[in-house]
Amino acid sequence: MGEILIIDDDRFVCEVAKIGFDRWAGTGVVCAVSAAQGVRLLRDASFDLALINTMLPSWSGIALAQIAANLNTPVVLLTDHPASLDTLQQFDFPYLAKPFSVSQMLWAATRAIADVQQNMCQITASIARMRAAHASLADEIAVSRLLVADSQRRRQQDSRIAPTSVKAIAKHVLF
């Protein structure tokens, strides 16, 4: 294995990964503790793998994964958030759930590096599926907003009916 980039705001994860990759795989590790630093490193250097936290303070790890994949860097996403884990599983992203063991990390890294093309295809397809789902959801939200607006408009029109008219209507309906 060559050099690995870890983008995670948790310095402990970076340190443990550095030790693990160095001791068991003889691999160099570069850590970025912010998304901006990670993007700079991805664009300025070549890495055999990027391990990216999905929940960074200023960016989505999935957006960073797309940048990495566009630069031909395989990716394994990291998360300890249940909702994020659900998303990664739902859209079939390559991921490692925190906390993970060094052996799990090495296995995931080896798998991603062994078949770079498959990893790139998986990242790209996962992002496409997620975007399609979000577009569908956005369409459903737009339709719901239109229905709510229409309902509110009808309610306002109904409230403008004179009370005597309501009584007259009720009399015909009830009797």
First to last CA, the chain: 85
The 3-state DSSP class for residue 135 equals helix
User: At which residue do the structure tokens 């490193």 appear?
Assistant: 41
pLDDT value at residue 30: 95
Q: Tell me: the pLDDT tens digits for 124-171?
A: 999 999 988 888 776 777 777 877 877 888 888 777 655 556 566 656
Q: What is the pTM of this model?
A: 0.75
Give the confidence band of 84 by pLDDT, cuts at 50, 70, 90.
very high
Residue 71: pLDDT band with limits 50, 70, 90: very high
Q: Specify the amino acid at residue 24.
A: W
Q: Work out the angle between the directed axes of helices 102-114 and 116-159 (0-180°, nearest 10).
A: 100
Residue 165 is predicted with a pLDDT of 61
Using CA of residue 24, residue 27, residue 28, residue 34, what is the dihedral sign? negative
pLDDT in tens, 7-47: 999 999 999 999 999 888 888 999 999 999 999 999 999 99
CATH topology of domain 4-129: Rossmann fold (3.40.50)
Q: Which residues does 87 contact at the CB level (< 8 Å), separation at least 6? A: 54, 93, 130
Check if the beta carbon of residue 94 is closer than 8 Å to that of residue 75.
yes
